[in-house]
Structure 1
Amino acid sequence: MSGMTEPVSFTGRLLVATPAMTDPNFDRVVILLLDHDAEGSLGVVLNRPTPVEVGAVLEPWADFAGEPPVIFQGGPVGLDSALALAVVPGEQGEEEVLGWRRVHGAIGLVDLEAPPELLAGELGALRVFAGYAGWAPGQLEDELKEGAWFVVDSEPGDVSAPAPERLWRAVLRRQRGELALVATYADDPSLN
């Protein structure tokens, strides 16, 4: 059919909550989109560390966890499930690493059922997430129209940022133009 355009995929990009975001689950979050297509969207919150150490839940993977070596709350859905991300250097199209599936660039999902030794020589810092953020078909697009999210490019270091509490500001600060100014937005606007 002519006139039909393929929807733009945001897989591998970041959703950065705007100050207008009113849902407390997503206040000042940075989400890496792992999947975005006609079926809906799925991502993980990169900046919500929990006090739970990776070794307390997934002991075989503890030595691979980046700083801080804790489980992150990936979102409000499926908190009883875990998924892990890691950076594996190399170019798209190169042979995939067993136990790791490329999501975008050097960022990929780790199969936590695989023996860690399979990946030992390949992985950059591992980050483990309990739960995820999910959207039904069209839901994320509606939230974008409402101004709830900024969509920006991700960088491999976002996945393993050693100071996740500063990631929201850091991601905004590296943007060009007016978007960088949003990084200076006060945590509590009533204090201005």
Structure 2
Amino acid sequence: MTEAQYLSGRLLLAMPGMFDPRFDHSVIAMCMHDENGAFGIGVGHVREGIRFHKLLRELDIDPGVAPDCKVLNGGPVEPGRGFVLHSTDWGGQGTVEIDGLCGLSASLDILRAIAEGRGPTHWLIALGYAGWGAGQLDEEMRHHGWFAAEAHSEVLFGTPFESRWTATWKAEGIDPALLASETGHA
């Protein structure tokens, strides 16, 4: 029997021609994956109609010195719930370190810290998440759905969102233009 491959801390890339159009060209920072299921934050697509300052104001937080950046579409599950992926130089209450990739926080404390200029060096904010039940992601990995890339924090924090899918493939040594949109069958 083979040991399960858990993907926490990896970047999950949607394969070309993926079966679910909601995840076309998706890059998902995998925060948790075990025998009970999986949880990740999408980092490759923007949530239209909302920017960071607007989100802060809706939460009664003065934007202060925070840049007015785009908010990412973290995934289709709980689309009103916010998450901050950030460098590990900030660790407030409730922060979880994600296996060599980044920190994950979902509290108002990190938003206040960013607005006040005392937050993490690198961060991005997303609304919603991608979630899978027990065994669901494992099954999708066996079909033509996902590729599990290594943890490339430089891509996560140093590459514009619209280029993260291509940049992650290239960091893996793969030219995405050469990928097939379906797998073969023997």
For normalisation by structure 1, the TM-score amounts to 0.78
AA in 2 matched with 1:140? L
Alignment of 1:89-128 (within 5 A): 89=89, 97-99=91-93, 100-105=95-100, 107-114=102-109, 116-117=112-113, 120-121=117-118, 123-128=120-125
| Distance in 1 between residues matched to 2:126 and 2:146, nearest whole Å | 21
The equivalent residue for 1:157 is 154
| Distance in 2 between residues matched to 1:142 and 1:26, nearest whole Å | 16
CA deviations on 1:71-120 (whole Å, 9 max, x unpaired) are: 1110111111111111124xxxxxx8223321122501124222633995
Tell me, what secondary structure is at the counterpart of 1:98? coil
Cα RMSD between the aligned structures?
Answer: 2.7
Tell me, what secondary structure is at the counterpart of 2:109? coil
Deviation at 1:20?
Answer: 3.0
Counterpart check, 1:78 vs 2:73: no
Answer with 55-64 or 44-53: which moved more. 55-64
Change (3 A) 1:103 1:143: same
- Alignment coverage as a number of residue pairs: 173
Alpha carbons 1:29, 1:45 under 8 Å: kept: yes
The equivalent residue for 1:56 is 54
| Distance in 2 between residues matched to 1:186 and 1:72, nearest whole Å | 27
Deviation at 1:166?
Answer: 1.2
CA deviations on 1:25-48 (whole Å, 9 max, x unpaired) are: 111111111000111001011111
| Distance in 2 between residues matched to 1:134 and 1:162, nearest whole Å | 24
CA deviations on 1:92-151 (whole Å, 9 max, x unpaired) are: xxxx82233211225011242226339954512221111010111111011111121111
The equivalent residue for 1:39 is 36
Deviation at 1:56?
Answer: 0.2
Alpha carbons 2:75, 2:128 under 8 Å: kept: yes
Change (3 A) 1:124 1:143: same
Tell me, what secondary structure is at the counterpart of 2:144? coil
Show structure 2 runs of 5+ residues with no match. 182-186
Change (3 A) 1:186 1:138: closer
Change (3 A) 1:30 1:117: closer
Alpha carbons 1:78, 1:132 under 8 Å: kept: yes
Counterpart check, 1:20 vs 2:21: no
**Percent identity between the aligned chains?**
25
Deviation at 1:168?
Answer: 0.9
| Distance in 1 between residues matched to 2:136 and 2:6, nearest whole Å | 14
Counterpart check, 1:166 vs 2:163: yes
| Distance in 2 between residues matched to 1:185 and 1:114, nearest whole Å | 42
